[in-house]
Each structure stands twice: as C-alpha cells, then as structure tokens.
Amino acid sequence: MKRYRIVSPIRFFIFIFIIIMSLILSVYAFVGAADTEASATESFRLVSVHEGDTLWTLAEDYSVASGIDQDIRQIVATICDTNDIEPDSVQPGDTIFVPVME
C-alpha cells in the first residue's frame, strides 16, 4: 500500500479549509433557497371602494387581515403606485388592487 506524505502543511490546511467552506456554503444555499420558496408571497386583491373608505383604512384593513407587517404609509404608496392613482382620488364604486400576503 502506497503512503502519502504531506509536503506542505500550510497548503494542506488551506485546501481543507476551502473544501469545508465550500460544503458549508453549498448547504446554506440549498437551505436558504428552500426557506425562500416556502415563505408567503405578496399578491394583490381587487377591492371595491365603498362610501367612507380611504386608502388608509383599506390599507389598514387588508394589512391586518393578511398579516402584512409593514408601515401603513408604505402600503398606501404601494396601492397608489400599483393603481396609478393619487391618495385622495378614490371614489365610492372604484375598484383598486390592494396588496395581500398569501
């Protein structure tokens, strides 16, 4: 049986270190990818505006109901950007898209 001898211990330990780090990063990448796929995704629900509704109240209602943990001002901005509207331009009877988590 042939015996191997480590000629340069420093190069050997650097090689082992690189192999171990590569394995750790590979496992982390697969585990992280699985967590990303399993998390909830943001989608939009078509909502009809009723008398007395404002973007603020709609954002509050749907963020609490769907579990969105975000500032209401950001949700209102998302609603405005998605629907290409101004915050004060919604009227009863309008239909708008509101973000929800699924």
Q: What is the CATH number of the domain that holds 47?
A: 3.10.350.10
Would you state the pLDDT for residue 87? 85
Alpha carbon 10 to its chain centroid, in Å, reads: 43
Containing structural domain, residue 48: 42-101
pLDDT at residue 50, rounded to an integer: 93
C-alpha span between 28 and 15 (Å, rounded): 20
Number of domains in the chain: 1
Q: 51: helix, coil or strand?
A: coil
In a domain, residue 17? The reply is no
Bridge partners (DSSP) of residue 92 are none
Q: Look up tokens 């209602």; give the residue.
A: 61
* Nearest CA among 70, 90, 71 for reference residue 80: 90
75 is a domain residue: yes
> Is 90 contained in some domain?
yes
- Asked if residue 12 is part of any domain, the answer here is no
The confidence score (pLDDT) of residue 21 equals 96
3-state class percentages of the chain: helix first, strand second, coil last, to nearest 5? 55, 15, 35
Each residue's pLDDT tens digit in the chain (102 positions)? 888 888 899 999 999 999 999 999 998 887 776 555 545 566 888 999 999 998 999 888 888 777 777 888 998 998 999 999 998 889 999 999 988 876
pTM passes above 0.85: no
